[in-house]
Amino acid sequence: MNMDNHPSSTLAAFAANLRYEDIPEPVLRRAEDLYLDWIGSALAGKGARAVESIAKFARAMGGTAGGEAEVLISRERTSPYFAAMVNGAASHFAEQDDVHNGSVFHPAAVVFPPVLAMAQAIGASGRELLTAAVAGYEVGIRVGEFLGRSHYTVFHTTGTAGTVASAAAVGRLLGLDASQMLHAFGSAGTQAAGLWEFLRDAADSKQLHTAKAASDGLLAAWLAKEGMTGAQRILEGKQGMAAGMSRDADPSKLVDRLGSRWALAETSFKFHASCRHTHPAADALLAVMRDNKLVADDIAQVVTRVHQGAIDVLGAVTVPATVHQAKFSMGTVLGLIAVFGRAGLAEFDESFLDPRVAAVRDKVSMLIDHEVDSAYPARWIGKVTVTTTDGRTFDGRVDEPKGDPGNTLSRPELEDKAMRLGLYRDGATEAEMRQIFDTVWSLTGCTRVGALLP
Amino acid sequence: MNMDNHPSSTLAAFAANLRYEDIPEPVLRRAEDLYLDWIGSALAGKGARAVESIAKFARAMGGTAGGEAEVLISRERTSPYFAAMVNGAASHFAEQDDVHNGSVFHPAAVVFPPVLAMAQAIGASGRELLTAAVAGYEVGIRVGEFLGRSHYTVFHTTGTAGTVASAAAVGRLLGLDASQMLHAFGSAGTQAAGLWEFLRDAADSKQLHTAKAASDGLLAAWLAKEGMTGAQRILEGKQGMAAGMSRDADPSKLVDRLGSRWALAETSFKFHASCRHTHPAADALLAVMRDNKLVADDIAQVVTRVHQGAIDVLGAVTVPATVHQAKFSMGTVLGLIAVFGRAGLAEFDESFLDPRVAAVRDKVSMLIDHEVDSAYPARWIGKVTVTTTDGRTFDGRVDEPKGDPGNTLSRPELEDKAMRLGLYRDGATEAEMRQIFDTVWSLTGCTRVGALLP
């Protein structure tokens, strides 16, 4: 086997050789945080039509065969392939799963489903699960950065880079050597797919993309273990992923500070259940209201100062007709924040047209701000100016939105978020969620990963 | 549902509404020919490492659940998803399956595996099987033509267009209406993948591509029946397949003479088990030897007159080191033809270095020919000049290689080829193959498609 030194092989060797002991403590703790955050998101996909259709497919095509891997939304046991597929479908539905800003990639949705499924199937330890997840994050984020902005204009990076991320994670769990890992990358990359065209019709493909990235990557790693060979340079080769699907790929991104830069720790948690472009202003408004002890009725006007991208994506503040539209309405998001102090899934579902929320919504406007726009996308600054009914004016500002690495969620905040997601569609009971918290926070002592739910 | 008239929706409506009665008799007979030809190819994949690895995966991940669908190489019964996956993996291994020249697409390998699997699972009739296969061919070939030459430079069209072909075929079998069929196209197109990069390393991805196209397309159609929605313009939309994976896509190809041009009937059978670029010269040599009653020992020199592409792909006539290389050796192919009268899988395996074959091989040369080169790729003309040991010279010529639509295989020739493929790796016995011939030739009278093998 020719293992010439090139970016694909360097990255594959890193993933294959990554040891638990090599990973800094804060990165391991963050990996546990991300794992809990993912469990909540996966449970919140319960009942969604597209997710349940994929679960039904898995059941019809062999899922009844039993197995050790757990489908979180149904508590069925099945093979790791189908568990990865269904949990992958469920993970991104509530859009509360994590995001890596630089690669515009949602790692948890495509890394944890195959990792948990294969860990349960082979009886891996908690430390092995964590190590595999870190391998998946480090590989997937770098592949996303490598594929670049031109890729993201047409392709859903979470689907494409996600397939390689899943293969890396499962490959680590299966103990692939560097050569086998490179074959797994080859088989994963040649399956990588996912097009944004579905957005135009608000179609269900996002669930299909995460389901397939998770299960296709697992397939690639499993086959590599069996001796299946793949392209040695699937990422940067002349007929590889970048050649076919990018115009600005940068191979140096694939190996950027491997082992010293931990991309996993750069991943952001989503705090509000709304479009990310609303988060900086929402946090700034929260800060103003908290610092000045304001309530919703005090508000006469809110001017948000934003980047151009926010105006492009969110558009004019109008009356939303659906929950989905409400999540892209800056006015509605700030209205929920003002009335409830949060803009979570339940607040959107129950109150996006609440008269108190609508009253604030209609007082919100957006203005482009030079500082905010210049800093974007490296930094997502939030600025608001609030005028009260009694004529006072307050300026609020956050330099990093809640959930970003410099303003991350505490474990109590993560538990609170996961609890809300777990209860949201009756994915789990409060007691079950508390049991899951214990399981996740004690993962490093776990000798054999078992089921999360009874 | 907005069913605006655009190429994707027109093509989807054609596939959904195609009736057995609408298909001309010669097209139906050719579909039966292609079906038998595929069965032989699928059986010949038995024992191949990459194919058996995928079969093992299917078994491990739920294939033991049983079901009505048949894995031809192992005679196991499983779900249609896994049967499509494994039979798809097996179909292209021997490289004896059919090819459509204009789209550079191998339809049988991605259409018949999901069609047979789903037909067995739902108990469809023989006529329904044929109608579904025709829908798959007509859609897949047009999608391949639409994606164009630029697509083929990086992407394996059989994997990409093949996913949509599989969805169209299975969708027809499941009775999707035009709207559901368009959703199935959306879910198929957004999964479409397959990169040529593996060729550089002679890796196993070709088997993965046909396996995944067959099973992913089936998944897309099944989900559409369940209500899963997909992009309405996955083929030609601004963030669809062509936008991401082609620079010369022509949407008019998608709807080219739907219902009057039958692209299935343009599909070529492979007659020799060698690189297609050797076929015209092999047929011309066969004609010269037959017409002039020559044997191998009579040959002093063979000059083949070829197109530039043949020289580029085949290179100099040297001594091949492997069976695979032998299939790209013009001299070896002509040597087998001269000695055995055929260049089939068994001849390559057993005799590619036979001294009698090598003796002819070393007398073969290639020269570029203006007429042949100008006609390519629309026509593959074969020309040879044979000089005998007693000083005579014969010119041979074929205008269309054996297996192309204008020089197709008779049913006895198809049976002979299928028999050799079936026996090649003990995929079936002679008696079983004869039973299969009866089954295929009487397909239109079959009320419920059952197993092909006991």
The predicted structure's pLDDT at residue B4: 60
Taking the CA of residue A188 and the nearest CA in chain B, the distance in Å comes to 10
Tokens 């055929």, residue located? B342
Nearest-Cα residue of chain B relative to residue A80: B61
Residue A454 lies in a domain: no
Torsion angles phi and psi, residue B81, rounded to 5: -60, -50
The predicted structure's pLDDT at residue A328: 87
Across A80-105, average pLDDT: 94
The domain in which residue A283 lies consists of 276-402
The amino acid occupying position B379 is: R
Residue A2 lies in a domain: no
Asked whether residue B325 falls in the same domain as residue B266, the answer is no
A126-149 tens-digit pLDDT = 999 999 999 999 999 999 999 998
C-beta neighbour count of B292 within 10 angstroms: 13
Residue B425 lies in a domain: no
Tokens 């929605």, residue located? B229
Asked whether residue A120 falls in the same domain as residue A226, the answer is yes
Query: pLDDT > 70: what percent of chain A?
Result: 98
Taking the CA of residue B77 and the nearest CA in chain A, the distance in Å comes to 12
Is B226 in Cβ contact with A57 (below 8 Å)?
Answer: yes
Tokens 């899963």, residue located? B228
Q: Which residues of A touch B227 (CB under 8 A)?
A: 49, 53
Asked whether residue B17 falls in the same domain as residue B138, the answer is yes
Nearest-Cα residue of chain B relative to residue A197: B239
Asked whether residue B302 falls in the same domain as residue B165, the answer is no
Tokens 């919140």, residue located? A44
Whole-number Å distance between alpha carbons of A108 and A210 = 10
Average pLDDT, chain A: 95
Taking the CA of residue B208 and the nearest CA in chain A, the distance in Å comes to 8
Residue A452 lies in a domain: no
Out of A78, A187, A209, closest to residue B205 by CB: A187
A315 vs B439, higher pLDDT: B439
Taking the CA of residue A334 and the nearest CA in chain B, the distance in Å comes to 32
The predicted structure's pLDDT at residue B316: 67
Q: Which residues of B touch A233 (CB under 8 A)?
A: 197, 200
Is B189 in Cβ contact with A227 (below 8 Å)?
Answer: no
Distances (CA, A) of B11 to A178, A196, B255: 45, 21, 6
Range 405-444 of A in CB contact (< 8 A) with B: none
Is B79 in Cβ contact with A62 (below 8 Å)?
Answer: yes
Asked whether residue A303 falls in the same domain as residue A390, the answer is yes
Range 143-162 of B in CB contact (< 8 A) with A: 153-155, 159
B185 touching A (Cβ < 8 Å): no
Residue B408 lies in a domain: no
Residue A450 lies in a domain: no
The predicted structure's pLDDT at residue B324: 83
Contact A103, A144 (CB under 8 A): yes
Asked whether residue A204 falls in the same domain as residue A77, the answer is yes
Taking the CA of residue B158 and the nearest CA in chain A, the distance in Å comes to 13
Asked whether residue A246 falls in the same domain as residue A286, the answer is no
Asked whether residue A184 falls in the same domain as residue A156, the answer is yes
Is B80 in Cβ contact with A62 (below 8 Å)?
Answer: no
> Model pTM?
0.94
Beta pairing class for B69-70 and A69-70:
unpaired
- DSSP annotation of A335 reads H
Asked whether residue A222 falls in the same domain as residue A316, the answer is no
pLDDT-derived band of residue A38, with 50, 70 and 90 as boundaries? very high
CATH code, domain with A139:
1.10.4100.10
Taking only the tens of pLDDT, chain B with its 454 residues reads 344 679 999 999 999 999 999 999 999 999 999 999 999 999 999 999 999 999 999 999 986 556 899 999 999 999 999 999 999 999 999 999 999 988 889 999 999 999 999 999 999 999 999 999 999 999 999 999 999 989 999 999 999 999 999 999 999 999 999 999 999 999 999 999 999 999 889 899 999 999 999 999 999 999 999 999 999 999 999 999 999 999 999 999 999 999 999 999 999 999 999 988 899 999 999 999 999 999 999 999 999 999 988 888 887 657 998 888 899 899 999 999 999 999 999 999 999 999 999 999 999 999 999 999 999 877 899 999 999 999 999 999 999 999 999 999 999 999 999 999 999 999 999 999 999 999 999 999 999 999 999 9
Out of A155, A187, A245, closest to residue B208 by CB: A187
Q: Which residues of B touch A241 (CB under 8 A)?
A: 195
Is B223 in Cβ contact with A57 (below 8 Å)?
Answer: yes
Beta-bridged to residue B394, according to DSSP, are B386
Name every residue whose Cβ is closer than 8 Å to that of residue A428 and which is 6 or more positions away in sequence.
A43, A422, A436, A453
What is Dmax (Cα atoms) for chain B?
76
Residue A453 lies in a domain: no
The predicted structure's pLDDT at residue B2: 43
A218-227 tens-digit pLDDT = 999 999 999 9
Nearest-Cα residue of chain B relative to residue A153: B239
Q: Is the pLDDT of residue A3 over 60?
A: no
Number of domains in chain A: 2
Across A349-353, average pLDDT: 95
Asked whether residue A394 falls in the same domain as residue A280, the answer is yes
Asked whether residue B191 falls in the same domain as residue B303, the answer is no
C-beta neighbour count of B27 within 10 angstroms: 17
Structure tokens at A342: 């949060």
A241 touching B (Cβ < 8 Å): yes
Q: Is the pLDDT of residue A110 over 60?
A: yes
- DSSP annotation of B267 reads P
The predicted structure's pLDDT at residue B219: 98
Range 44-83 of A in CB contact (< 8 A) with B: 49-50, 53-54, 56-57, 60-65, 67, 78-82
CATH code, domain with A305:
3.30.1330.120
Asked whether residue B265 falls in the same domain as residue B300, the answer is no
Contact A427, A43 (CB under 8 A): yes
The amino acid occupying position A341 is: G
Residue B377 lies in a domain: yes
A186 touching B (Cβ < 8 Å): yes
**CB pairs < 8 Å spanning A and B:** 217
DSSP annotation string for B354-400? -HHHHHHHTTEEEEE-HHHHHHTTT---EEEEEEETTS-EEEEEESS
Out of B189, B196, B228, closest to residue A204 by CB: B228
The predicted structure's pLDDT at residue A2: 44
ipTM of the complex in this document: 0.94
